[in-house]
Amino acid sequence: MANDCVFCKIIRKEVPTQPIHEDHDLLAFPDISPIAPVHVLVVPKEHMVNLNEAGVKDVPVLGRMLRLAARIANEMGVAETGYRVVINNGDEGGQLVPHLHLHLIGGKALDQKLG
């Protein structure tokens, strides 16, 4: 884990959050600046800056991130109406925190510019 990474601090319980899910590899919690009624971050506990740092050994945890997003979408009641899963990668990709994370966004009609 990186000492100055805010997500690593959340994982170490140095910064408070309201976990939605936690297991050995992943932590999910509400985004502090939500853009929709449902806006959850799914974060691997092992620090990696972005997808460019992910290797073959990380494939299982990346898959678990997606499955967890789908499960949380179902639990939060947005699976049937639809939701978005986003990974911003790098500065020009809109990544604000240099720790790989997935955004689960739903609960309202989303702008279709991305799709």
Which residues are known catalytic residues?
A: 101
Record the tokens describing residue 70, joined without a space.
């789908």
Which whole-number Å values give the CA distances from 115 to 29, 63, 71, 79, 82, in the listed order? 25, 22, 22, 18, 13
Residues 96 and 38 sit within 8 Å (Cβ to Cβ) = no
